[in-house]
Amino acid sequence: MGALDPDVGQFMETLARMFPVPPADVSPTERRLSFRQVHEQLLHPPPPPAFAGDIVDDIVATDDGEVPVRVYSPATSTPTGPTLVFFPGGGWVIGDLETGDATARSLATQMDLTVIAVDYRKAPEHPFPAAFEDARAAVRAVAQQRRPSWLGVAGDSSGGNLAAAVAIDCAAARHQCDGQLLLYPALDPRMDTDSHRRYARGYLLERELMEFYWTSYRAEAPLDWHIAPALAPDEMLSEVAPVVVATAELDPLHDEGRDYAGRLLGLGIAATHLPGPGLIHGWVDHTGLVPAADQALRRAVAVFDALRRASTGDAATTER
């Protein structure tokens, strides 16, 4: 069992003091409001970080309808240049473009590429397959409409689930998907790993809350890889895009992320697992408050960007 980073411990105390745990029967609308308040008052208070480029709210027209997105275009980017489609986390229930804004800015800035954040439909009002369909449709539309030189998918937690599922779908359908950045992804609703047992209490993401998220998203749908990428058969996973999986050491989801990266590596996929020593679930949002979280994000981005550059033959390097 790893040791909790001291700054993480202090952050958790501050969070508990400012935002006590809500009652179990709180409505989804109230959960979303509380999550937004946590971001605005503690995690990423205004003003937002400066961004050298354009940030535009837009709509992606897909075969299944319109999907709201936010496009982050660095000043040096081009419409057909490298593009990353990003799915903000929040248990498929509470995340949105605002709570994912700081992460999207960081990804676009650190990798100097266009990031398109997707505001997929949320459970429980819109259970599976709504979020998956929005994510898949957005990636396909970006590939067809922008024709980027390189196209990756990324997401944190439930967003990482969607990114992984879309990557599998793209491989099966022979659609463009050139890389995956999965940040502490939720990959398996069975929740039977050692880390789920070890960190079920006291590390921000409580077991009951994760069960609520999975139940809200899955509803009555049969369990397969579209919902749980960890359940995809080897023959499907052996064709997916290269991946970087960055987990948190003290997170119920740690083992499923680590095991997924290990499984892909065993199938011949370029896969890297970064364990996040001392960190807890949600660390991408703890940057600015927890130095180790800043370091973890820079490391994950650097490894992922190196993977991208290697696949495109781009020998340029960026200072980290």
Active site residues: 157, 251, 281
Helix or strand (DSSP H, E) at 260: helix 254-266
In sequence order, which residues have a C-beta less than 8 Å from that of residue 250 and are 6 or more positions away? Answer: 1, 2, 4, 8, 199, 203, 278, 279, 280
Q: The dihedral of CA 192, 193, 197, 200: what is its sign?
A: negative
Would you give the distance in Å from CA 194 to the centre of its chain? Answer: 22
Q: How many helices (H) and strands (E) does the chain have?
A: 10, 8
Identify the CA nearest to 206 among candidates 252, 166, 165: 252
Look-up of token digits 């359908």: 173
In sequence order, which residues have a C-beta less than 8 Å from that of residue 84 and are 6 or more positions away? Answer: 107, 108, 111, 113, 114, 115, 116, 151, 152, 153, 154, 181
Output the six-digit token pair for 71.
């496009």
Q: Are 105 and 88 in contact (CB under 8 A)?
A: no
